[in-house]
Amino acid sequence: MSGPLLDNLPNDLPSSARVGLSGPDARVPARLADLPPAEQARLARHALLHALLPLALEDDDARRAFAEHTTSAIVPDAAPFTQRVVSQIAPSTARQARRTSTRVVAARQPTGRTSRLSRTTRRFAHKRPIRGRFGSYLLPATLATAVAACVVLAVVLRVGDASIATMANSESATWQSAPGPLIAGVRLRLAQGLVELDLHGKGKLVLDGPADLELASASRAILRSGRLVLNVTPAGHGYRVETPGGTFIDLGTRFGVIVGADGTSEAHVMEGSIAAQVKGSTSEVILTQDKAARFRAGRLESIAADPGAFYTRLPPHTVTAPDQIHWRLDDGTGNTARAEVRGFPSTAADLTLKSTRGSPLPQWISGHHGRALAFDGRGGYAESGFPGIGGTQPRTVSCWIRMPRDFTPADGFAIVSWGHPMATGRGEVWQISLNPLKHDGPLGRIRVGTHGGILVGSTDLRDDRWHHVAIVMFGGVRPNIGTHVLAYVDGELEPISRRTLLTIDTRILDDGHGVWVGRNVTHTDDQRTSPHGFLRGAVDDLVISAGALSQAEIRELMRER
């Protein structure tokens, strides 16, 4: 690459600024935002440097000639970009710069060849050149020119830093490195948690950590690891998600993408359709609703769709404190545990200790702080007059639990529960337990069941230690256990090992009982045996809230004494 001004660049200009774009970036795109951030900054420096001198030129033709001559000498095919920048400078600003400029020096032609540029600039050059650290073409240091330079720089930065997304919501998000402005080329490395991005009219993107995502442009993302859900609007049709194995292209849809640690990539279509394109191939395979496929070893293979593997939205943040019932379980004696009620209608919310088949009542023991209740798994439980939270209303249930190391499948299914399990519809109960069924997921993990739908965590809680657990359901028109429920263990968002899809609509009007602690919601008094009927373990500090609490609010409950 050569040019009359190349050797006259400022000595302290980075060497990277002296070479042009190469490879696929050799052509300056229509949008500067499509370039990597480093190239945006480099072009901004060049535009500022080479837009100053044209301000002193008399006519538009001369200004355009200068822009084309100088910029093409530094960045191939960049003249159209610089012309666009220079053309946005108001003519009055340029005239003012010419009037107030005291000394303007023409660029020298090292070859002795007279060009249109040199003929034009020589008309305005003073006889005595000014020399300085930038060589013999030092630009006039006048106030008007400085103002004009600021205008140019503002234009460049406004174009180059155009935001392509907005952080709309997050839950329990921890970053490996803090993300910068959401412009083209930004890399999002999410260590854990959930983040929802608004793609500025093109749709919503939910990123589930740990994940590594690059927003390559306004209509293209690169997922290197983790999982995401893309809900695309008509304006975003054609959005591309590139993975190590290939590319998934939106055709008007909602779909999820997973990239494993080994680079294996898969997509699950929830609505509409997408096109799947193996890396290095131009052929496409169309996937429609409830279909899924995986890129493996350079080819595309069909797999079973699992839309329950993704969070499709995040819980809204509440502004006011929700209604709440708090059983501290610090009573220590007697057959009643007093309830502290906030906001709920007056009700007999205290817990009464009960048992079936002549079993002992739950026992008072030392808790995580203060006192707690221990259940022996044979028939003791506690019941409240509070019926629970019904329908599709948001809710959070949190408590401290301690489960024995020798916990067996017969000891689970019964930490906190309410609802009507014998109704004809499914999804009409709400029960939190430790998972006792191997075919539903790993044993001893926190579990939410709705009579037909499940969510199972990944942390083994069978260790004779106190753990804080919280289950959050954020409501909606049709909340689903697979997409609207979050689990927390010890204040951290819990990775989910398995979940299914089923609409939640908890039935409490005719269930015949209130909230149970330590009893399986499906157990009836006429059952002679019940392998999963009662809890063996301890519970402390139980809270039911009529709202979807945030991680910060859950941690505040953990700190309460």
Q: Is residue 193 part of a domain?
A: yes
pLDDT tens-place string over residues 165-185: 999 999 999 999 878 889 999
CA pseudo-torsion sign 307, 311, 312, 318: positive
Asked which of 160, 189, 214 is the last residue of a domain, the reply is 160
Q: Is residue 90 part of a domain?
A: yes
Question: Do both 201 and 331 map to the same domain?
Answer: no
Pick the residue with more confidence: 24 or 52?
52
Question: Do both 146 and 204 map to the same domain?
Answer: no
Question: Do both 338 and 305 map to the same domain?
Answer: no
Q: What percent of the chain has pLDDT over 90?
A: 51
Pick the residue with more confidence: 130 or 261?
261
Q: Is residue 375 part of a domain?
A: yes
Question: Do both 177 and 141 map to the same domain?
Answer: no
Pick the residue with more confidence: 476 or 348?
348
* pLDDT of amino acid 197: 96
Please give the backbone phi and psi of residue 219, each rounded to the nearest 5 degrees, phi first: -135, 20
**Per-residue confidence band for 346, with pLDDT thresholds at 50, 70 and 90:** low
pLDDT tens-place string over residues 292-306: 999 988 899 999 998
CA pseudo-torsion sign 331, 332, 337, 339: positive
* pLDDT of amino acid 444: 94
Give me the mean pLDDT over the 21-43 stretch.
45
- CA torsion angle 445 448 453 459 (round to 10): -20
Which helix (H) or strand (E) is 194 found in, with range? strand 186-198
**Per-residue confidence band for 127, with pLDDT thresholds at 50, 70 and 90:** very low
Residue 518: strand pairing partners: none
User: Which of helix, strand or coil describes residue 58?
Assistant: coil
Question: Do both 141 and 192 map to the same domain?
Answer: no
Instruction: Return mean pLDDT, the chain.
Output: 77
Question: Do both 454 and 493 map to the same domain?
Answer: yes
User: Which of helix, strand or coil describes residue 162?
Assistant: coil
Question: Do both 330 and 299 map to the same domain?
Answer: no
C-alpha 158/C-alpha 44 separation (Å) is 10
Pairing of strands 371-376, 285-288: unpaired
CA 327 to centroid of chain Cα atoms: 34
Asked which of 309, 337, 358 is the last residue of a domain, the reply is 309
The residue to which tokens 């600024």 are assigned:
17
User: What's the CATH number where 487 sits?
Assistant: 2.60.120.200
Q: Is residue 316 part of a domain?
A: no
Question: Do both 470 and 383 map to the same domain?
Answer: yes
The pTM assigned to this predicted structure is: 0.66
User: Taking Cα atoms as reference points, which of 432, 398, 430 lies closest to residue 554?
Assistant: 398
* pLDDT of amino acid 66: 46
Q: Is the pLDDT of residue 268 over 60?
A: yes
Domain count, the chain: 3
User: What's the CATH number where 254 sits?
Assistant: 2.60.120.1440
DSSP 494: P
Question: Do both 443 and 398 map to the same domain?
Answer: yes
Structure tokens belonging to residue 526: 């006429």
Ranking 325-329, 440-444, 524-528, 554-558 by mean pLDDT, the lowest is 524-528
Q: Is residue 314 part of a domain?
A: no
Q: Cβ(202)–Cβ(235) under 8 Å?
A: yes
Domain membership of residue 299 as a residue range: 166-309
Give me the mean pLDDT over the 500-508 stretch.
88
Q: Is residue 317 part of a domain?
A: no
**Per-residue confidence band for 289, with pLDDT thresholds at 50, 70 and 90:** very high
* pLDDT of amino acid 414: 84
* pLDDT of amino acid 214: 96
Q: Is residue 319 part of a domain?
A: no
Q: Is the pLDDT of residue 8 over 80?
A: no
Structure tokens belonging to residue 541: 């500090």
pLDDT tens-place string over residues 195-222: 999 999 999 999 999 999 999 999 999 9
Q: Is the pLDDT of residue 339 over 50?
A: yes
Q: Is residue 514 part of a domain?
A: yes
Question: Do both 397 and 493 map to the same domain?
Answer: yes
Question: Do both 10 and 108 map to the same domain?
Answer: yes
* pLDDT of amino acid 73: 38
C-alpha 513/C-alpha 521 separation (Å) is 10
Question: Do both 288 and 427 map to the same domain?
Answer: no
